[in-house]
Amino acid sequence: MDQQLFTLARRPAITELLGPGATSSAIAEYSGYATMVFMIGWASGGVFFGILGDRIGRVRTMIFTILCYSLFTGISVLSTGVWDFAVYRFLTGLGVGGQFAVGVALVAESLPDKARPYALGWLQASSAWGNMLAALVGMSLGALEESGVIGAAWRLMFVVGAVPAFLCLFIMRRLEEPARWREARREGVKRGSIAELFSTPRWRHNAIVGMLLAFAGVVGLWGIGFFSVDLLRVVLDQTNLSAGRKTFWTGVTSLLQNLGAFVGIYAFTHLTARVGRRKAFAMAFLAAMGMTAYTFWNLDSFDDIFWMIPLMGACQLALFGGYAIYLPELFPTRLRSTGTSFCYNVGRFVAALGPLALGLLTSRVFVHQAYPMRYAGVTMCLVFLIGLATVPFAPETRDKPLPE
């Protein structure tokens, strides 16, 4: 939910914080900077908390990550300029980044092999519901801003983002560490070792493959897909809609994108069970590249929103269902959280340049085109070819137990 609230709030926040007279190109550029900083925090927190999850346990680490991202999401409401806004987003990213690896390791180790891929797929699909909740929040606050009940809707979005902190109370009372992790601790096995991850050929190979697969999808989503709301603004700016109505339609776009995401992740989960992980990834990378490029080049009316955006969401977010299923299957218990976080987050350091690249392509390279965002988005779609080229080197894990 937090990442989607940020996506919805980013452009109006940057517009207000830059002040009167901010140009569209400047807003696009600083939006790219803010997203880049958020992703660097995400990657840093992912690596740190991933290692911590192997060392002190999945549940305790999960509590730390939720508190971190909830607290700093709430503090973002106090932003007075683009740079303190970026600092708050970096600190929020630390917690968001740690959540994925710890969560999928916890689920993967708690369920039998037959149920594991479906449970992990549903876990990732549930993120779409969080994103849809964020979209509904954005739509509601946009309507309130339009009616004059509230001021800047984007600030209240971040207040809502602080609510998940209360989940920590439930987690502390109800969840236990997986038996696999408790057994590894009893045996005195060294856990969370980056040195072992790279000194063992099998784990090193899996780490590099997993990182490249994740890199392509993360850049595709954060460098292109999540800027679909900004693409919509290109359409909306040609209308006479008020700021509140524009915020409302941005929420509609996000809602549709994540409805598609839920369907895409669900479909990918069953596809991996039928054709295997590698073939499913290859099909998903091709679909994501084609549909994203088509959407960025052709979306130009409200009617287009209702079918292009859900299809793009389905194709792009399906890959993330694959990461939740596949990455924990590549590493043993003592390295599962560490390896998963490495794959998902180290590539994010480089992927953080994706939003910046889109912003620079929009504001500088294609600035003289009528719609520079379209040219920039289509160009960025080439990143999916990196994932496609990596698939032949990925080990097939279908119907295999988790490595020990």
Confirm or reject CATH 3.40.50.720 for domain 2-393, answering yes or no.
no
Segment 14-38, tens digit of pLDDT: 988 988 888 877 887 888 888 889 8
- What DSSP designation does 403 have? P
Quote the pLDDT of residue 354.
Answer: 66
Quote the pLDDT of residue 275.
Answer: 93
* Buried/exposed code over 282-310 (b: 16+ C-beta within 10 A; e: otherwise): bbbbebbbebbbbbbeebeeeeebeebbb
**Beta carbons within 10 angstroms of residue 367's beta carbon:** 15
> What sign does the dihedral 48-396-120-305 (CA atoms) show?
positive
Quote the pLDDT of residue 291.
Answer: 94
Distance CA 35, CA 298 (A): 25
Angle made by CA atoms 356, 82, 164, in degrees to the nearest 5:
90
Segment 127-142, tens digit of pLDDT: 888 888 887 887 788 7
Q: What pTM, to 2 d.p., does this model score?
A: 0.81
**Which of 23, 13, 2, 40 lies closest to 356 in space, CA to CA?**
40
360's tokens: 């620079």
**Beta carbons within 10 angstroms of residue 370's beta carbon:** 8
Distance of CA 159 to the CA centre of its chain: 20
Q: Which positions ≥6 away from 208 have C-beta within 8 Å?
A: none
* DSSP secondary structure of 134-199: HHHHHHHHHHHHHHTSSS-HHHHHHHHTTGGGGHHHHHHHH----HHHHHHHHTT---S-HHHHHH
CB 354 within 8 A of CB 204: no
User: What are the residue ranges in the chain where pLDDT is below 50?
Assistant: none
* Buried/exposed code over 180-195 (b: 16+ C-beta within 10 A; e: otherwise): bbeebbeeeeebbbee
Quote the pLDDT of residue 228.
Answer: 66
Question: Per-domain residue ranges for the chain?
Answer: 2-393
Distance CA 173, CA 165 (A): 14
Q: Which positions ≥6 away from 343 have C-beta within 8 Å?
A: 207, 210, 211, 213, 214, 323, 327, 330
Does residue 211 sit in helix, strand or coil? helix
> Which phi and psi (to 5°) does residue 192 adopt?
70, 40
CB 262 within 8 A of CB 125: yes
Structural Rg of the chain based on CA atoms: 20
CB 42 within 8 A of CB 89: no
> What sign does the dihedral 241-36-350-209 (CA atoms) show?
negative
φ/ψ bin of 4: left (φ > 0), alpha (ψ from -120 to 50), beta (otherwise)? alpha
Angle made by CA atoms 231, 22, 144, in degrees to the nearest 5:
65
Distance CA 6, CA 293 (A): 23
